[in-house]
């Protein structure tokens, strides 16, 4: 039997938490052989902690063999203690008519506090995945608080966008989802994100050749993927939850699986012309469990360069909005 790993989840009693915990506990994130200690963190609000108690009762009632124990807390220093993975979901979601960046002033400060505590008490090998919106900039805020943990441990989730793009390409081409490969997301988790159809393949052929509809690829496709979150809010009345939890399972699973190539929001280091200090989505290759390297060699055409510049501009503007939250 392997040693249990400690997985801290914030916002554990929220919408995403309610889908996520059961997927983690079943082994979907870390595999069927990996025992877990779940460290569930909620806001210091009586109703939230009470709801968390109910969710934990349901985890108990699933009798998941991998779950060795659970900690329920509203104290980040308890919840992040010795955590190997910190999944930062807890934050306000947007409502209709809002952009994700409108959440910055409220949500940004959560990530200052959590970044500091994680750096102080989490395990030496701690990895952090940020879901709370706006995810890229919140991730940058949390990473900026860290002195012990290096910036490459902090990743923002753009995997939902990759999964959305893959599904759209499969639908449009009429091919099976598994035929669609190498579709990656660049930039911000916002409508400016760029799903680079130029590198995608369907059944081994270039996606652009199979679909043969450039106006759709450059127009409706990019727009549908970029605005899917808002479309779900409009239809459901609240933001995506099960698909977001599923994307986080994919994000962490693939970061723990050497050889996987997938879209992750990372400190750009200047790749693809991004400002070196913003967290931008791009393809990365997992080199060993939890460690990645950027794939920065994809050629970009004029259309792609314009899209990359627009999403970079937005990330730089978001950074300016939170300059007082960065260390
Ligand atoms: P929700 O309101 O249902 O749940 C959020 C939970 O976080 C609540 O239970 C709340 O009490 C808790 N919380 C708030 N502040 C906290 C803190 N400081 N510490 C711990 N817990 C705290 O929201 P949700 O639908 O689960 O969404 C959570 C976040 O994820 C939102 O910001 C949403 O916009 C974002 N999101 C991101 C993506 C993505 O692709 N990156 C996708 C979907 C949703
Ligand atoms: C999404 O993409 O579904 C989430 O980021 C929620 C939102 O606000 O759109």
Angle at 127 between CA 125 and CA 128, to 5 degrees: 150
List of E strands, the chain: 5-10, 36-41, 67-73, 85-88, 127-130, 154-156, 180-181, 185-186, 194-195, 201-202, 205-206, 261-267, 279-288, 291-294
pLDDT, residue 1, reads: 81
pLDDT, residue 313, reads: 98
| Ligand 1: lining residues by beta carbon, under 6 Å | 10-11, 13-17, 41-43, 48, 89-94, 110, 131-133, 135, 157, 160, 189, 239-241, 244
pLDDT, residue 95, reads: 85
Phi and psi torsions of 44, nearest 5°: -75, 65
pLDDT, residue 103, reads: 93
Residue nearest to atom 1 of ligand 1 (CA): 14
Q: What is the pLDDT of residues 113-141, one digit of tens each?
A: 999 999 999 999 999 999 999 999 999 99
**Can 189 be counted among the known catalytic residues?**
yes
Q: Which residues of the chain have pLDDT under 50?
A: none
pLDDT, residue 308, reads: 98
- Report the C-alpha gap between 301 and 310 in whole angstroms: 14
Strands 205-206 and 201-202: antiparallel
Domains, the chain, in order of start with CATH, read: 5-156 (3.40.50.720), 159-321 (3.90.110.10)
**% of the chain with per-residue pLDDT over 90:** 97
Q: What is the pLDDT of residues 26-69, one digit of tens each?
A: 999 999 999 999 999 999 999 999 999 999 999 999 999 999 99
pLDDT, residue 278, reads: 98
């Amino acid at each position: 039997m392997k040693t249990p790993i400690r997985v801290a989840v914030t916002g554990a009693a929220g919408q995403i938490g309610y889908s996520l915990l059961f997927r983690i506990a079943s082994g979907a994130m870390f595999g069927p052989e990996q025992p877990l200690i779940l460290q569930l963190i909620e806001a210091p609000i009586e109703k939230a902690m009470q709801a968390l108690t109910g969710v934990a009762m349901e985890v108990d009632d699933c009798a998941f063999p991998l779950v060795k124990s659970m900690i329920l807390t509203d104290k980040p220093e308890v919840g992040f203690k010795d955590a190997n993975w910190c999944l930062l979901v807890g934050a306000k979601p947007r409502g209709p008519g809002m952009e994700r960046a409108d959440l910055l002033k409220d949500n940004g400060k959560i990530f200052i506090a959590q970044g500091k505590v994680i750096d102080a008490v989490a395990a030496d090998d701690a990895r952090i995945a940020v879901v709370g919106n706006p995810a890229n900039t919140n991730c940058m805020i949390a990473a900026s608080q860290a002195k012990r943990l290096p910036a490459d441990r902090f990743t923002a989730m753009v995997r939902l966008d990759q999964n959305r793009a893959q599904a759209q390409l499969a639908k449009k081409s009429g091919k099976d989802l598994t035929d669609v490969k190498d579709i990656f997301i660049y930039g911000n988790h916002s409508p400016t994100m760029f799903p680079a159809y130029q590198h995608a393949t369907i059944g081994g052929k270039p996606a652009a050749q199979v679909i043969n509809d450039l106006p759709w690829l450059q127009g409706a496709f990019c727009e549908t993927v970029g605005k899917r979150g808002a479309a779900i809010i409009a239809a459901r009345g609240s933001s995506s939850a099960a698909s977001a939890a599923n994307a986080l399972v994919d994000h962490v699973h693939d970061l723990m699986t050497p050889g996987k190539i997938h879209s992750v929001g990372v400190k750009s280091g200047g790749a693809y012309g991004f400002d070196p200090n913003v967290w931008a989505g791009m393809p990365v290759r997992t080199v060993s469990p939890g460690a990645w390297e950027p794939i920065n060699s994809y050629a970009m055409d004029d259309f792609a360069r314009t899209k990359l510049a627009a999403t970079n501009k937005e990330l730089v503007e978001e950074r300016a909005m939170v300059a007082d939250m960065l260390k």
